[in-house]
Amino acid sequence: MKSKQKEFAVSMVRLGQLKGQVLRLLLALAVVTGCRRAKESTPEPEIVKTKTGIEMAAIPGGWFEMGSKDGAPDEKPVHKVWISPFLMDRFEVIQEEFRKYQLPDPSHFKGPKQPLEQINWTDAALYCNERSKAEGLEPCYDEQTWQCSFQANGYRLPTEAEWEYACRAGAGTKYSFGNNVRDLNAHAWFAETAAGKTHPVGQKKPNPWGLYDMHGNVAEWCNDFYSLDYYKQSQQKNPTGPTKGKERVLRGGAWNSSADACRSSYRASDPSIDDTCLASDAIGFRCVRNATTNPSPQQNVDKNDPPQDAPKTGFIYDDIYLEHKTTPDHPEKPARLTAIVDKLKATGLYARLLTLSPKPADVQWITTIHSQQYVEHVRKSCREGAAYLDSMDTPISEKSYDVALAAAGGVFCAIDAVIESKVTNAFCAVRPPGHHAMSDRAMGFCLFNNVAIGTRYIQKKHDLHKILIVDWDVHHGNGTQAAFYDDPSVLYFSVHQYPFYPGTGSQAEKGSGKGLNCTINVPLPAGSTDADYLRAFKDKLEPTALAFSPDFVLISAGFDAHEDDLLGGMRVTAEGFAKLTRIVKQIAEKCCRGRLVSVLEGGYHLEALAASVEAHIHVLME
Ligand SMILES: [Zn+2]
C-alpha cells in the first residue's frame, strides 16, 4: 500500500503560491458559472437543502457490485453489496463552511469555496458532530473513542461502500461516466488538469447522481478502517469495514493523483492520526447521513432492508416487437411473443421478473456488425414498402426497420441491467430474430444480428473483453459465426440440426487465424433428443467454456429444436431446455458472476415455444 499512500501524502514544495493566487481568484469567480448537470438517463436523486443550507443528494437504496476485477489486489473480489438509502453532500466540504463552526481551517490551498484539506480524520468526524448539533440532530461520533453510531440520525463520514455506490451512480465502469480516461478531464481535477493545486468545488461535471468532484480535487475520508483483504469477508448489507485498524480509507483521488487513482473502485488509506501538520493537502471529505424513513404504517418496517424477493431476472419486451409484420401463415409472427408473455402471466412468473422496456439501438452499434450500406438498404426497403428483404423467406413491413433497431436495443437494455447489477441475468423476448443475419444481407427471418451486435456492445461500451455465445437454435447461426470467425475474443458454440438450413455449421468449421478453435460446431442428425443435446453441452461446451473463462455469456435461444416445432426435426423437450439453461448458467456463475443475457431466436410452435421459454426463465430465476 505504500505507493498508494504516496498519491496523497505528498509533501509538496510550496512554491508558486503567489502566481497561484491570481488564478485561484479567477477560478473562484468561475464557480458561479460552473457547468450544468449533464443529461443522463439514470433517474436523478432528489436534491435537498439541509437546515444549514447544504445541498445533499437523496441516494436511493440498491444493490451494486463493489470492487474491480481488473484493479489492484485490494479491489478484489468484486462482490455484491446492498446499500440502504442515504443523503450525501453534493460537494466536498468547503473552507468557509468548516469555519462556520469556529474550527481552525488547516487548508493549505486557501479559498472560501475550495475544499477543506490537510484535515485529519478525527477533525473531519468532529465537524460532522458540530454540523449535527447545529441542525438538532443526534451526533454520530463518540468524541472519546471516535466510534460511530450508525443508528444516530446526524452526520458522519460515508462508509467505503456508500462512497463507491454513490460514486458509481449505477455505472459498472471504471469511472462514473464510463471507461474512457480521456473523459476524466471533464469530470475531475487530477494530476493532468489540476496544475498542482485544489480548485473550488463543483466546477467539473457532476456524476449521474448530481455529485461533484467524486473523482479528483481532494481524496475523501471514509468512516471505515482500511484493510487490504476486507472484500474477502465483507458483509453483504451495508458493510461498515473492519472493526479495528490503524489507517482509514480514502477514496476518489485528488489534484495530485493519476487517472488510475481516480477510478470509482480505487482504494487508498492514510493513518488517521491527530496531528494536522502531518495531514496531506490532498485529503478532504464530505458528509452523509441516513435517509429518514417516512413512517407510513405499511412501509416503515423494512424500508431500509434489501427487498426480500428482489427480481434476479430481467425480462425485455415491448409491444413494438409486434409491429414487424410478416406474410400470412409465416411461422415467424407476432403471436410468438404474445404467447410467451401470456404464458408467463398465467403461471405467475411474469410478476417475479424485472420487466424492462427497450430504447431503439443507435445505428452506430448496428454498424459494428453490419455494413452502412446494408443498414440503409433495410431502412429504405421498409420505408418504401418492400414485401421482402434479400430473399423470399424474410418478409418485412413498413415498421420492420424500427422494430429491428428496438430488438437490438432490447438486448442492450438487458446487458446494461446485468452489468449495473439490477438483475443477475435477463431474457429478451424480441423479434425479428438475428443469428442468420450477415453483415451485408438479411437471411432466414433475420434483419440485424441482435446477439452479435450485443457482443460488440458489451466489449466496447462496458469494456468486458471475452464473450461466450451459446446458440442452441435448431438452425446453425451462420451470421454470428461469420461475424467472429477470426476473433479470439468471442467463443461461439452452436449445436444444431445438420444437414439443414442454412447449410453451414459442419464440425470442420472451427474459426480461422487468431480465432482458430474459437468456433465450435456440434452438428446433430434430425431426431436428436435431450440426452444428445446434454452430452454435447457437457462434453463439448463446458470444458472449453470454462477454459475460455468468459466475462459475459449470451445465449442465442431458439426453441425450434422442440419436438413439436413446425420447422425443426429434433426431439428436445421444455425440460431439456431447462437442463441446457442450467449448464450455461453455471458456466456464467463460475466465470463471470452469473452475467448472462438470453435472446430469443427461433421457435415456431406457439405452445411449445411458450412452455420452453417458461422452463428456461424458471432456471434463470433460481
Ligand atoms: Zn431457427
The answer to whether the bond into 499 is cis (omega within 30° of 0) is yes
Phi-psi region of 541 (alpha: psi -120 to 50; beta: other; left: phi over 0): alpha
Give me Rg for the CA atoms of the chain: 28
pLDDT at position 298, please?
36
CA distance 121 to 246: 11
Query: How confident is residue 593, by pLDDT bands cut at 50, 70 and 90?
Result: confident
- Locate 607 and state its grid cell: 405452445
Per the DSSP assignment, residues forming a β-bridge with 469 are: 492, 554
512 Cα to the center of ligand 1, angstroms: 25
pLDDT at position 8, please?
35
- Locate 181 and state its grid cell: 480516461
In total, the chain counts a number of residues equal to: 622
564 Cα to the center of ligand 1, angstroms: 14
Is the pLDDT assigned to residue 159 strictly greater than 60?
A: yes
* Average pLDDT rounded to a whole number, residues 434-447: 97
Is the pLDDT assigned to residue 108 strictly greater than 50?
A: yes
CA distance 319 to 332: 16
Q: Give Cα 342 distance to the centre of its chain.
A: 30
475 Cα to the center of ligand 1, angstroms: 4
Contact criterion met (CB below 8 Å) for 537 and 578: no
**Helical H segments across 140-183, by residue range:** 160-168
386 Cα to the center of ligand 1, angstroms: 24
Query: How confident is residue 275, by pLDDT bands cut at 50, 70 and 90?
Result: low
Contact criterion met (CB below 8 Å) for 316 and 179: no
Phi-psi region of 332 (alpha: psi -120 to 50; beta: other; left: phi over 0): beta
CA distance 609 to 367: 31
CA distance 550 to 190: 34
Contact criterion met (CB below 8 Å) for 476 and 504: yes
pLDDT at position 271, please?
80
Residue 148 has what DSSP assignment? Answer: B
**Which residue has 443469428 as its cell numbers?**
435
- Locate 78 and state its grid cell: 468484486
Contact criterion met (CB below 8 Å) for 616 and 557: yes
Query: How confident is residue 525, by pLDDT bands cut at 50, 70 and 90?
Result: very high
- Interval 110-155: pLDDT, tens: 999 999 999 999 999 999 999 999 999 999 999 999 999 998 999 9
**Which residue has 457532476 as its cell numbers?**
206
What residue type is 578 in one-letter code?
Answer: A
Task: Give the closest residue to 5 by CA, choosing from 83, 58, 74, 69.
Answer: 74
pLDDT at position 416, please?
95
Q: Please confirm, yes or no, whether 435 is among the known catalytic residues.
A: no
- Interval 339-366: pLDDT, tens: 999 999 998 899 899 999 899 999 999 9
The answer to whether the bond into 334 is cis (omega within 30° of 0) is no
556 Cα to the center of ligand 1, angstroms: 10
pLDDT at position 277, please?
55
The string of DSSP codes covering 128-192 is: HHHHHHHTTPPP-B-TTT--B-TTSSS-BPPPHHHHHHHHHTT--SSBTTBS-GGGHHHH-B-TT
462 Cα to the center of ligand 1, angstroms: 29
Is the pLDDT assigned to residue 327 strictly greater than 70?
A: yes
574 Cα to the center of ligand 1, angstroms: 16
* Average pLDDT rounded to a whole number, residues 411-415: 97
- Interval 495-514: pLDDT, tens: 999 999 999 999 999 999 99
Contact criterion met (CB below 8 Å) for 451 and 437: no
| Strand, coil or helix: 390 | coil
Q: What is the mean pLDDT of the chain?
A: 89
| Strand, coil or helix: 443 | strand
pLDDT at position 42, please?
44
Contact criterion met (CB below 8 Å) for 300 and 289: no
Beta strand 388-389 pairing with 391-395: antiparallel
- Interval 539-587: pLDDT, tens: 999 999 999 999 999 999 999 999 999 999 999 999 999 999 999 999 9
Catalytic annotation, pick one of 377, 436, 475, 562: 436
| Strand, coil or helix: 605 | coil
pLDDT at position 43, please?
59
pLDDT at position 276, please?
53
Query: How confident is residue 461, by pLDDT bands cut at 50, 70 and 90?
Result: very high
CA distance 491 to 126: 55
Element housing 250 (H / E): strand 247-251
Beta strand 288-290 pairing with 283-284: unpaired
405 Cα to the center of ligand 1, angstroms: 20
Query: What are the two backbone dihedrals, phi and then psi, of residue 601, each rounded to the nearest 5 degrees?
Result: -115, -105
507 Cα to the center of ligand 1, angstroms: 18
Reported pTM: 0.56
